[in-house]
Structure 1
Amino acid sequence: MQDFTNAQNTIDLLFEGAIRFKEENFLAYKELFENLKEGQNPHTLFVGCADSRVVPNLITNTLPGELFVVRNIANIVPPYREVEEYLATTSAIEYALEELKVENIIICGHSHCGGCAALYEDGHFESMPNVKNWLKLIASVKEQVLALKPKNNAMRAYLTEQINIEKQIVNLFTYPKVKEKYLARTLKIYGWHYIIESGEVYNYDFKMHEFNLLKG
């Protein structure tokens, strides 16, 4: 009964939040939403982790309509392929590139990522076969990290999260026209490592193959 009561209280708060949004916050952006009813024209595709601590519009200080957001466990970009199965992430990225014609793509990983940490926890997802199968897409990241022989678990986590971002950038280039657009400078690609506890964002340097802190 206690668990049910707590769950009900949580839902009540969400309902109250939705009402408050309509009565207060929405009014501040009423004109913006009125314009957005005709369609969207986001400038950036944001591929991030589904982790509840990662909030794309909050991190980037953007308004509704600016970001086309794709989120999944461990911010994975599956290699492009055309198959009969249903491909949520792949189709969303394809849509952003072909239909919305975004100008930028940000692949954003983060600190304390459960998906990345799970690579080192054998048997953790035995009761979640779909999650277990999904993480096979980044199995090679674990091999790369262990080859570097990190000194401790904190360093291992840090390297795993950043190398994972690099891998997803490589996968992104398997999508139609991405390489051509990138070389023509009509599409910009970024890799971000967001640090939850500090709010810092490290941006990937393609030439140096390292992440550098974004500064004002």
Structure 2
Amino acid sequence: MDYLKAGLIKFRTQDYEEHKNLFCRLKRHQEPHTLFITCSDSRVVPQLITKSLPGELFVVRNIANIIPKYQESHECDSRTSATTSAIEYAVKILKVKSIIICGHSNCGGCSAIHLPDEVLDEIPATKKWLELSENVKTRVLDEMKATGKTKDLDYREWLTEQMNIVEQIKHLLTYPYIVEQLNRKEIEIIGMYYTIETGEVFIYDSHKGSFELAN
């Protein structure tokens, strides 16, 4: 706690003072330009990666940056409502112009997709959540079999993390109000893969079907 307290004091006396006018402007409202959906992993810091200021990103975090498929409000359950309501609020109320789905290297959530049931049974809430990306596991295993890399765990990790981002983009496209805005070119969807150990960020190119280094 002493470490965190020292950080609070440093923020108030240094960082806040540097951006005091900005915080005053943000007192009553926010106008973020981007909905940033990413993993809960402590190593992923959206504002740091994108060099964004307070008020620019509306951040949604969960294990493995999963986006539940669209459901009518009366069908939503507690497992999905926190993420789906945040997406709804960002798009419909805050009128964000971009949605970023950001996965990352060495993702524990993506790795957990491949854990045996006896291990996942020890974390039942997480197991239930990861079922939302069950299709990713199937696609990854099929791809590994097709390429003859069934025993390459590093390849499985990398493939799962990137395929998961693409799968979440597909999930996002089940939201009617997002598709409507896409068709009117009022919003864009961006898939992003962050490599922790190198600081590199790769952007998904839907035409090429691959992630390209941002430069």
Same fold (TM over 0.5): yes
1:60 pairs with 2:50: yes
Bigger shift: residues 39-48 or 202-211: 202-211
TM-score by length of 1: 0.92
Kept after mapping to 2: 8 A contact 1:94/1:175: no
1:198 pairs with 2:198: yes
Q: Give the CA RMSD over aligned residues.
A: 1.1
1:134-169 CA distances to partner (integer Å, 9 max, x unpaired)? 000111111101111262111111110111000100
Q: Secondary structure at the match of 1:177?
A: helix
Give structure 1 regions of 4+ aligned residues with deviation exceeding 6 angstroms.
none
Describe how 1:60-209 pairs up with structure 2 within 5 A: 60-81=50-71, 82=73, 83=75, 85-86=77-78, 87-122=81-116, 123-149=118-144, 151=149, 152-209=152-209
Q: How many corresponding residue pairs?
A: 205
C-alpha distance in structure 2 between counterparts of 1:16 and 1:125, whole Å? 38
Percent of aligned pairs with the same amino acid: 50
TM-score by length of 2: 0.92
Q: Secondary structure at the match of 2:70?
A: coil
Q: Secondary structure at the match of 2:64?
A: coil
Q: Structure 1 residue 84: deviation in Å? A: 5.6
Unaligned runs of 5+ in 2: none
Instruction: Give the residue type in structure 2 aligned to 1:92.
Output: A
C-alpha distance in structure 2 between counterparts of 1:160 and 1:207, whole Å? 20
Q: Structure 1 residue 206: deviation in Å? A: 1.3
Q: Structure 1 residue 48: deviation in Å? A: 0.2
Q: Structure 1 residue 119: deviation in Å? A: 1.5
Kept after mapping to 2: 8 A contact 1:70/1:89: yes
Q: Structure 1 residue 183: deviation in Å? A: 2.2
1:35 pairs with 2:53: no
Aligned match for 2:8, one of 18, 24, 42: 18
C-alpha distance in structure 1 between counterparts of 2:122 and 2:115, whole Å? 13
Q: Secondary structure at the match of 1:124?
A: helix
Kept after mapping to 2: 8 A contact 1:193/1:201: yes
C-alpha distance in structure 1 between counterparts of 2:177 and 2:113, whole Å? 32
